[in-house]
Amino acid sequence: MGVRFLVLVVLSVTLMVVDARFTLLKPVRSQMSLVLMQSYWITDLPQRLWQGVASQFGSRTELVAENEKLKTENLLLQGRMQKLAALTEQNVRLRELLNSSALVNEKVEVAELIGMDPNPFTHRIIINKGERDGVVLGQPVLDARGLMGQVVELMPYTSRVLLLTDTTHSIPVQVNRNGLRAIASGTGNPESLELRHVADTADIKVGDLLVSSGLGQRFPAGYPVATVKEVIHDSGQPFAIVRAVPTAALNRSRYLLLVFSDSRTPEERANDAAKAQQAEQNGEAPSIVPATVPKPAAPVAAPAPAPAPVVAPSVAPVAAKPASAKAPAAKAPAAKPPSATPAAARPPAAVPATTRERQ
Amino acid sequence: MASTRSSNSWLIWLTFAIGLLLSISPMPQFMEILRPLWLALLLAFWALYMPHKVGMLTAFCLGLAEDVLYGTLLGQNALTLTLITFLVLSLQQRLRVFPMWQQSLVILVIFGLAQLAQLWLSALTGNRQPTLALILPALVSALLWLWISYGLRGLCRRFKIN
């Protein structure tokens, strides 16, 4: 018995080391998760059923009221959109004048939360989109109000998302008011982020909106991250203590948006746009979607050819995108080098680029 | 584990499946740190009363499953579950004649050791967790041991698992 114990201990230690250092065990893990991740779905079932029943028996007045509310909200958003169209147009023109790269629309896809990590000391969630849906490692995840986190583990049909407030997570941010850069680290409290190493004299006030700066090359620039809750100037401390509340409902949102950001360089993008235009002139179908592109039944915006005057309606689902993003969005590509999966997930305009890369 | 004379040994696996589900089922935030170690409890019980059916290899496989579910390094939970099963198996002769409260004390000590190993492993992988809070699941599991072993023994008698 002792021998067997020893063998198993050595085996598990070896497994741990191999899993931590090499990618050898990734296929094994993804095969196992194919079966095991169903259990998250099963544990989520009661809530799903409850929701189903509740929506079946929701009274008519409630539904009418909800419909009314949604209509008003829709009207408001549409109104804001009109302004956004003009602003985007203006922004593009100004950027052209400045000869700097244009803002890019990121493609988004809707995912649903199916489970929370059982470990109370980590903030991770499990979503129902995985490698087969074109999700890539490090992909940013939003909800309707702001950034939530990034994908840290890929499984075939599910993936694990590390939330902003996990103690191991930090995100480069910018004060929306004046562009002051900082790093927001998670504290382990779902309602609080901490800004590290902010000088005592820095211009940061309670109520400031922090947006992602895109400097870490992982998150796209300009998405709201948090609002500053308190700024404490303690003369005994070398830095100011700044605490912020995430704008996203980290422990309440059920529907999330996965952002597919564009990892091409400006020249590549220009080339692609030119090619796309040529293709259109030649009378080909404007969207040459390869068969491998996953087409989920989500309200995904039609991707626009990048540097051409931006088609406003295509920004529609990204309600959280402020028009005043300061950092050039084009400099915030996904951190991963382009592989087959992100290529398939890109807008169709990207297709010629990838084929050219392969040549 | 190899001999399957009884037709009802699938029930053991059913309890393990339920244990896996329980170990990931959503709970209110304040109860998360009290989540009992369901798989460890079930393994301890079956290793105590059916050592010919459930051994360290079972524990290892279940641990791997838990690792995949929790997203920890492959082998981390496998190691702690194997450790628990090993300790239970080596104390088995004595544990079986102990009265209930004494059994749950021993279970508390064993689970506490396993949680300590878990703490070291997770500290090695970089996410340090608050130390004393890790004892709480062991405590809750020890308190649950009474009901678990009552219930499972009833199950054994009812379905004649042996």
Per-residue pLDDT of A141-165, as tens digits, reads: 988 888 999 999 888 889 999 999 9
H-helix or E-strand containing A17?
helix A2-21
Q: What residues in B contact A29, CB-CB < 8 Å?
A: 68, 74
Cβ neighbours for A7, distance < 8 A, ≥ 6 positions apart: none
Residue numbers in A near B24 (CB within 8 A): 39-40, 43, 115, 118
Distance CA A38, CA A177 (A): 45
Instruction: Inspect the interface and report whether the beta carbons of B69 and A121 lie closer than 8 Å.
Output: no
A-chain residues near B117 (CB < 8 A): none
pLDDT digits (tens, 9 = 90+) for B67-95: 998 888 888 899 999 999 999 999 988 98
> Residue A108: what pLDDT?
82
Distance from CA of B86 to the nearest CA of A (A): 7
**Does residue B46 fall inside a structural domain?**
yes
Residue B66 lies in a domain: yes
What is the domain extent for residue B79?
35-159
Residue A225 has pLDDT above 80, yes or no: yes
Contact B73, B32 (CB under 8 A): no
> What's the pLDDT at A103?
58
Q: Full-prediction pTM beyond 0.90?
A: no
The predicted-structure confidence for A88-136, as pLDDT tens digits, reads as follows 888 888 887 877 665 566 778 899 898 888 888 888 999 998 888 889 8
Contact B53, B16 (CB under 8 A): no
Cβ-nearest to A115 among B24, B121, B130: B24
Q: Is A14 on the interface with B (CB under 8 A)?
A: yes
Interface membership of A183 toward B (CB under 8 Å): no
In a domain, B107, yes or no: yes
Which DSSP string corresponds to B46-79? HHHH-TTTS-HHHHHHHHHHHHHHHT--TTHHHH
Could you tell me if A4 and B56 are in contact, meaning their C-beta atoms sit under 8 angstroms apart? yes
Specify the amino acid at residue A157: Y
Query: How many domains does one find in chain B?
Result: 1
Q: A204 falls in which pLDDT band (50, 70, 90)?
A: very high
What percentage of residues in chain A have a pLDDT greater than 90? 25
Nearest-CB residue to A153 (from B26, B32, B71)? B71
Report which listed range, A60-64, A238-242, A265-269, is most confident.
Answer: A238-242
Of A8, A18, A122, the CB nearest to B60: A8
> Can you tell me whether residue B149 is helix, strand or coil?
helix
- B84 inside domain: yes
Does the structure show a pLDDT above 70 at A279? Answer: yes
- Asked if the structure places residue B93 within a domain, the reply is yes
Beta strands in A8-130 (DSSP E): 107-116, 124-127
In a domain, B100, yes or no: yes
- A12/B75 Cβ within 8 A: yes
Check residue B145 and give its pLDDT: 92
What's the whole-number mean pLDDT along residues A2-19?
A: 91
Using DSSP's 3-state secondary structure scheme, residue A129 falls into: coil
Show the beta-strand stretches assigned E in chain B: none
Q: B141 lies in a domain?
A: yes
Distances (CA, A) of B140 to A41, B38, B95, B102, B133: 26, 10, 19, 15, 12
| A38: contact with B, CB 8 A cutoff | no
* Residue in the structure block whose two tokens are 């009833």: B154
The alpha carbon of A316 is separated from its chain's Cα centroid by a whole number of angstroms, namely: 16
pLDDT at A335 over 50: no
Average pLDDT of every residue of chain A: 76
Amino acid at B141: S
Share of chain A above pLDDT 70, in %: 72
Q: What are phi and psi of A120, to 5 degrees?
A: -70, -15
pLDDT score of A332 more than 80: no
Tell whether the model's pLDDT for residue A316 goes beyond 50: no
Is the interface score ipTM higher than 0.90? no
Residue B146 has pLDDT above 50, yes or no: yes
With respect to residue B92, please indicate whether it lies within any of the assigned structural domains.
yes
Task: Give the distance from residue A238's alpha carbon to the nearest chain B alpha carbon, in angstroms.
Answer: 25
SS3 call for A145: coil
